[in-house]
Amino acid sequence: MTMDLTPLDTAHAAMMAAPEDDTARLRFYERMADIELFLLLEAEPEGDDISPKVIEAEGAQYLLAFDRAARLAQYAGDTAAYVALSGRNVAAMLEGQPLGIALNIDVAPSAILLPDTAVAWLRQTLTHEAAEVEAKIEAVLPPKGLPESLIEAIDAKLATATGMAANAWLVGVAYEGGGRGHLLAFIDAIPRARDALVRAASEALTFSGIEAGAMDVGFFNHSEATVEKLMRVGLRFDLPQMETLQKTPRMPGTDPSDPPILK
């Protein structure tokens, strides 16, 4: 087995060590959704069409996926055909297919068979979206009472949101007409990244085991008066920046709504 532990190995070990811990299990699936998986193929891809290698185990069928290209090569050889996709894209690709995922089989401590029901659960979980706030904010307050697991999850999600916004602030809010809650406010988000940021916030909630109603999402321009209030009392999250992000073309297979096609 490969000796160097990966983030997926670590999350898998935590899940197996505490089988009753829902948070540990959610974090394993979150890591799987976020990382790049190397999917073993029968032959080289033909455009958007791919032919994954399928194995049968325990009376069910599974695709073979690995969290490192070296692990795939260890299993199938250096000349094996493969495609690299995020875990979320693999889950999206399998919609309507009675196929599970055989993950890191025979090559890593995180080896596990994930049945098609688990893949379907992950796909459905990833489609849940946080509500983008439209109500008018009456008061901005310091965030209060949110678990540290949610703060850590937001920080981890936004650490991968390169160039999508200048930064984000987590605050408590009171809305006109009644109602209180928490708001994750993104500052100067690029328009085409808004859906991805809402999805990231939603996943931070879901994979922390927190109820979806615990946090709204909002978008603000740095020149708005509300932003000064956010900065005064909020918890700041910095997003990595890359000046060329808006000019970067979308690569095939990177959009969960347009996954590769199984042949």
Domains present along the chain, CATH in parentheses: 7-127 (no CATH), 137-245 (3.30.429)
Measure the CA–CA gap between 36 and 8, rounded to whole angstroms: 11
Token readout for 150 is 């949610």
Measure the CA–CA gap between 31 and 54, rounded to whole angstroms: 23
For residue 249, pLDDT beyond 80 = no
Measure the CA–CA gap between 205 and 213, rounded to whole angstroms: 9
Write the pLDDT tens digit of every residue in 10-39. 999 999 999 988 888 988 998 899 889 999
Provide the pLDDT confidence category of residue 107 given band limits of 50, 70 and 90.
very high
pTM: 0.66
Do residues 130 and 217 lie in contact, with contact meaning Cβ atoms separated by under 8 Å? Answer: yes
Q: Give the model's pLDDT for residue 153.
A: 87
Q: Give the model's pLDDT for residue 26.
A: 87
Whose structure tokens read 């901005």? Answer: 140
Do residues 23 and 11 lie in contact, with contact meaning Cβ atoms separated by under 8 Å? Answer: no
Strand intervals (E) in 192-248 = 216-220, 235-238
Write the pLDDT tens digit of every residue in 108-152. 999 999 999 999 999 888 876 555 556 688 899 999 888 888 898
Provide the pLDDT confidence category of residue 207 given band limits of 50, 70 and 90.
confident
Write the pLDDT tens digit of every residue in 157-205. 898 888 999 999 999 999 887 888 899 999 999 999 998 898 888 888 8
Q: Give the model's pLDDT for residue 134.
A: 65
